Structure 1
Amino acid sequence: MQRDVLLEPSEGPAFAVRRPSGTSDVVLVCEHASKTMPVALKTLGLDTAALESHIAWDIGAARVAERLSDQLDATLVMQRFSRLAYDCNRPPEAPDAFPARSEVFEVPGNRGLNAEERARRTEALYIPFHAAIDQLLDARLAAGRNLVLVTVHSFTPVYYGKPRDGHLGILHDADSRLADAMLAVSAETGLAGVSRNYPYGPEDGVTHTLIRHGLTRQIANVMLEIRNDLIAEEAGQALWADRIETLLRGALDRLDHEGGRRHA
């Protein structure tokens, strides 16, 4: 029996691509760009406040990623639906791919999902999103492009009642080339509040996209986490896009000088 589809044609595809013909070697990804819920899932039993909060999306991340895309002329792939439906920075077998609880919020519509429902969401949201990234990277590598992968996220200023004072986290998994270079540039320029693997690290299971698309192709990669109160408004989004652009351009210059960007 054919499985019911999650998304109706009127809802559009699972992903959006900005600047598909971008000339930059930077490829941007924003897995948690949207708070939009698939119509079939309604509200997952959550109220409006929860659906507007960080548990549904990375506040400000999409706007920063879009600015970076335009400033760098870099292609950006964004997920168009909420991470509550499927967290595209998690593999299908991960329990938190469909979070039943996020900090103080219970998510009733994600509790006790059976294999069929998990598969329905995976097929509608995860597979097309990551296939789009696969196709983009593979086509450009085949054309001889010297790519780097950058994912853009945001984090809350308070977590379980504890303040987070950092401004920008530069995260990596086994490949730290780009992170090392960005951290070096941040130190040289005196940019405060920048830390390695903050407020999470690979041990927290947050580097799935880097592993799937960066490590497997041996291209330099990094995950950026910006504190969301700093990018909730347009002025902050512009400021942090400019700061990250400076870090990225400086880091790529360092890697090119050292020969560290070339993939195997």
Structure 2
Amino acid sequence: MSTAREHTILGPDDGPAAEVINPRGAAPICLVCEHASAFIPATLGDLGVAPEHRQSHAAWDIGGRDLATALSQRLDAPLVASRVSRLVYDCNRPPNAPGAIPEKSEVVEVPGNVGLSDTARAARATEVYDPFRTLLKTTLDGFAEPPVLVTIHSFTPVWFGQPREVELGLLHDSDDRLARAMLAEAPDGLDARLNAPYSVTDGVTHTLREHAIPRGVQNVMIEVRNDLVSDAAGVARFAGILDTMLTRALATQGVT
């Protein structure tokens, strides 16, 4: 018979499943990076994933953490970031979503996620998703006034063999105020689009639905093509672009 102990995910030396960077940030903005890490706990081995894929987009959002951290510094805003790979658990998906513990990511097979028992799946949610969710809620509750919620992601230039020309996506769920305001501030020459390369129909707005929509706070999901933020220069460039776009957009919405 399986026991909860058999399915413990994070070991004593692994640290927490999520963290807050710049917790004393003074801006009325909460940044989130659900796919900030490619870390797979030793208890899970390598999940059967080939070495070349363990640092790929399948495992995390390449450049996402660096971009989110740079933006946190520029804005002086707290950042809630996952410390565990989305191959273990995707913190932008609820436990009942098939993609929360993916058996395959695009063309990358994840044998260690195939045929998991209900107990094993519950352990992933309990040890990875629940702490992330709780930390984000606690961080949001800690603001003196309800903050703006901004999630930071990156996406691949090619998906299932199809090139993606879009460079910056501004995604929204039922509240499109901030996404549209930011789009209006996009610099000339940047291919910025609304709800691209994903939209609400792809199930990617879980964090917005879970933490922003019920609070009535303005929110946006930012997606940057990862070849544009794969080095320090690219990260610095986009941190500047997003800082300006977000600051100007919030000013038009009466948020300073």
Please give the TM-score of this superposition, normalised by the length of structure 2.
0.96
* 1:126 corresponds to: 129
Deviations 1:232-259 (A, max 9, x none): 0000000000000010000000000xxx
Q: Percent identity?
A: 48
- Give the equivalent residue in structure 2 for 1:190: 188
Structure 2 segments unaligned to the other structure (5+ residues): none
Provide the C-alpha distance between the structure 2 equivalents of 1:176 and 1:98, rounded to a whole number of angstroms.
29
Query: Could you tell me which residue of structure 1 aligns to residue 43 of structure 2?
Result: 40
- Using the TM superposition, give the Cα deviation of residue 131 of structure 1 relative to its aligned residue in structure 2, in angstroms: 0.3
Match of 2:52, as an amino acid?
A
Q: How many residues are matched?
A: 253
Matches within 5 A, 1:49-198: 49-140=52-143, 143=144, 145-186=145-186, 189-198=187-196
Q: How does 1:177-256 map to 2 (within 5 A)?
A: 177-186=177-186, 189-256=187-254
Alpha-carbon distance in structure 1 between the residues aligned to 2:75 and 2:146: 15
Question: SS of the counterpart of 1:185?
Answer: coil
Amino acid in structure 1 at the alignment position of 2:94: P
Contact 2:19–2:135 (8 Å) recurs in 1: no
Q: TM-score, normalised by structure 1?
A: 0.93
Give the CA deviation at 1:24: 0.5
| Distance in 2 (alpha carbons) for counterparts of 1:24 and 1:39 | 37
Task: Tell me if the contact between 2:173 and 2:209 (Cα under 8 Å) persists in the aligned partners.
Answer: yes
User: 1:145-184 CA distances to partner (integer Å, 9 max, x unpaired)?
Assistant: 2410000000000011110011000000001111011011
SS at match of 1:92: coil
SS class of match (1:11): coil
The Cα shift of 1:16 comes to: 1.5
Residue segments in structure 1 that go unaligned for 5+ positions in a row: none
Structure 1 distance, partners of 2:97, 2:117, is 14
Deviation by residue 1:60-95 (Cα, 9 ceiling, x = unmatched): 010000000011110001000100000000000000
- The one-letter code sitting in structure 1 at the alignment partner of 2:192 is V
Q: Does 1:3 align with 2:1?
A: no
- For 1:254 and 1:146, how far apart are their aligned partners in 2? 17
C-alpha displacement of 1:3: 1.3
Partner amino acid, structure 1, of 2:64: A
Q: CA RMSD in A?
A: 1.3
1:139, CA displacement in angstroms?
2.4
Once superposed, which parts of structure 1, at least 4 consecutive aligned residues long, lie more than 4 Å away? none
String of CA shifts for 1:179-224, please: whole Å, max 9, x gaps: 01101112xx425200000000000000000000000111001000
Question: In structure 2, do the counterparts of structure 1 residues 175 and 112 end up closer, same or farther at CA, with 3 Å as the change threshold?
Answer: same
CA distance in 1, matches of 2:32, 2:253: 21
> Does 130-139 or 1-10 show the bigger shift?
1-10
2: CA distance, partners of 1:129 / 1:11: 15
